[in-house]
Structure 1
Amino acid sequence: MCSTLGLDHRKLQLTNSNNISSKDDIVEWCTRLLFVTHLAAYLALLVLLATMVFMIFKLLSDVDGEAGATETEPLRPRKTVTPLTYGTCGEDIERGNCSASSSSSNNSNCATSEDLYDGKVCVICYDEQRNCFFVPCGHCATCYDCAKRIFYVETKTCPLCRRCIRKVRKLFAV
């Protein structure tokens, strides 16, 4: 009934007007049906093409590698503080078998006396970095936890000069 070839090569019969009107109705219906199917196919292809372009742009923006910064993120990245392992063997500390024999065989892994006093490690615990000072003497020799322990629990004297400590102040790195 509906054919694209039949639409182009219509024969008009002028003698029978009833026959012409029913054939014209069928041809018009077929033309409209063909138009609607073509329109639906074009719209489906357009949506598919727009989706593909959107996905390509999204992929390109993700590959750009620049993460979007928000207002709540800090300007400087946070530093991870790792505990210092002065006086212990670096490789064997996880296994728990750092002995005198292993330290003598692995001289490169164990800390020497020069490493212990580098001006950055706490003189009390040798684990944390120095991050506070005592008032009034101004010595910066301990971490904040050890300084609080000296000030509140123990003698309230500086471990270097033995002066009486009035306050402990924390240092903030810039």
Structure 2
Amino acid sequence: MWNTSGSATSGRPQRPTENTTLLPSKGREIVVTIYGTNDNNEHVESGSSSCSSSEDFYDGKICVICYDDQRNCLFIPCGHCVTCRKCAHRIVKEESKSCPICRGTIYKVRKLCIL
């Protein structure tokens, strides 16, 4: 098993913590795969001119609840990133605390910092 510094451990596997990077080199690729975005520049064409907000929506960057702010929260344990911070906190305050995508119970919300 690997520890948090990237070296092999000889004994019992270590439990990952919230600060452990599980897949440091593949993290961005996984997020891109999960949300269905890709690197090619295919956008939905419409009769009117496209604006940056519609491009952001189709690229999966806009909150699926309010359609106003950027997605910047990650739900734990399901890993979905589909809402802004304000909407994520509203969902967590509800009795069901369920992810809008998979309906799984949300235990924590983490703010994402996109670099």
Normalization by structure 2: what TM-score?
Answer: 0.51
1:117 and 1:154, CA in 2 relative to 1: closer, same or farther beyond 3 A? Answer: farther
Identity %: 63
Number of residues of Structure 1 aligned to a counterpart in Structure 2: 70
Q: After the TM superposition, which parts of structure 1 deviate over 2 Å for at least 4 consecutive aligned residues?
A: 113-117
Aligned CA-pair RMSD: 2.8
1:139 aligns with 2:80: yes
- Can you list the C-alpha shifts for 1:108-159, whole angstroms capped at 9, x where unaligned? 2578x87633211100001000101100000000001100000013530000
> What is the rounded CA distance, in whole Å, between the counterparts of 1:143 and 1:149 in structure 2?
10
1:149 aligns with 2:90: yes
> What is the rounded CA distance, in whole Å, between the counterparts of 1:143 and 1:154 in structure 2?
19
1:170 aligns with 2:108: no
Match of 2:60 in 1: 119
Larger Rg: 1
In structure 1, the gaps of 5 or more residues are 1-105
In structure 2, the gaps of 5 or more residues are 1-46
* Bigger relative CO (Cα 8 Å, ≥ 6 apart): 2
Look up the equivalent residue of 1:133 and give its one-letter code.
L
> What is the rounded CA distance, in whole Å, between the counterparts of 1:131 and 1:154 in structure 2?
22
1:115 and 1:173, CA in 2 relative to 1: closer, same or farther beyond 3 A? Answer: closer
Classify the secondary structure of the residue corresponding to 2:109: strand
Contact 2:73–2:110 (Cα < 8 Å) also in 1: yes
